[in-house]
Amino acid sequence: MRHHTGPVDPESKEFRDTQAVTQAALEALNGYMKVLSELSAKDVANVSSDVSTMDPDLSTLTVTNPKVRSGLEASSALASILLDAAVRNDLKKLIVKAAEPVGQITTYLVDQAQITRNVCIQTVAANHEYWAGLTTQNPANREFCSQHTICKPLYALAKRALVTENNDLNAKAVAAEAAAKAFQKIHDDNAALVNNVDHLDAKALTEILTNDEPYLISAIRDLEAL
């Protein structure tokens, strides 16, 4: 990039500040995504070991009776899932409380990527102007070039350098545009997650269990009837 002709000064305080903020924003977003994935990845197995502490009476029941055993197993499974729901509640809290800052940060990252794309295109324009000035012919040049064949290959070489540099800048602009779209998708996904966060609570899970896993509920009732 021709910094002396380009529209951006990478040494400027504003530019350095913006880059530092972008780096910090990416780190904050990565930290959030990591915790979100850790909380989401906690499966039933991780918390099922705590089931015995939920209801000591359950663990003292004799399990020789098949009906009791199936009920115990079912209640253990249900307790595990509800415990998992407690973890999901943490997830919900995080998603709801982080909704606004995540939205602001992803918006900033979209804009930062967009500005990076813009800067690449702006620098192409600066390059054109730079080479236009460098190759401008005064009357003496025109006279010289009309008498010698050396000018044509020199201009061809200059054009090649210009095209190479601009191709690189245009490729970077396309990459930055793709990054902006990727950040926009994260932004939209986060908004959708926040809008649907109620599906993560224990009540919704119980409803899902009632509708989709009726055998668990009936087994619990069997156990209660003993």
Partner 1 sequence: MPTPQQLIYLSTELTDSVKSINAIVAKQELPYDEETRELSTSAARLAVLANAIGQAGLSALAHEIREAMGELNSQVKSAKERSRKSMT
Distances in whole angstroms, Cα of residue 90 to Cα of each of 36, 47, 103, 201: 10, 14, 19, 10
Helix, strand or coil for residue 145?
Answer: helix
Q: Is 94 in the site for partner 1 (CB under 8 A)?
A: yes
> In sequence order, what are the residues at sequence separation of 6 or more whose Cβ sits closer than 8 angstroms to the Cβ of residue 144?
151
Distances in whole angstroms, Cα of residue 176 to Cα of each of 14, 83, 121, 163: 20, 43, 11, 20
CA–CA dist 221, 100 (Å, integer): 43
> In sequence order, what are the residues at sequence separation of 6 or more whose Cβ sits closer than 8 angstroms to the Cβ of residue 156?
none
Find the part of the chain contacting partner 1 (CB under 8 A) among 61-69, 94-102, 188-196, 202-210.
94-102
Using the rule CB under 8 A, which residue among 43, 55, 111, 143 binds partner 1?
111
Which residue lies nearer to partner 1 by CB, 173 or 216? 173
Residue 90 beta carbon to partner 1: minimum distance, rounded to whole angstroms: 5
SS3 content of the chain, % helix, strand, coil (to 5): 85, 0, 15
Using the rule CB under 8 A, which residue among 52, 53, 67, 90 binds partner 1?
90
Q: Is 8 in the site for partner 1 (CB under 8 A)?
A: yes
Q: Is 189 in the site for partner 1 (CB under 8 A)?
A: no
Contact positions vs partner 1 (CB under 8 A): 7-8, 14-15, 17-18, 21-22, 24-25, 28-29, 31-32, 35, 38-39, 46, 86-87, 90, 93-94, 97-98, 100-102, 104-105, 107-108, 111-112, 114-115, 117-119, 121-126, 128-129, 131-132, 135-137, 155, 158-159, 162-163, 166
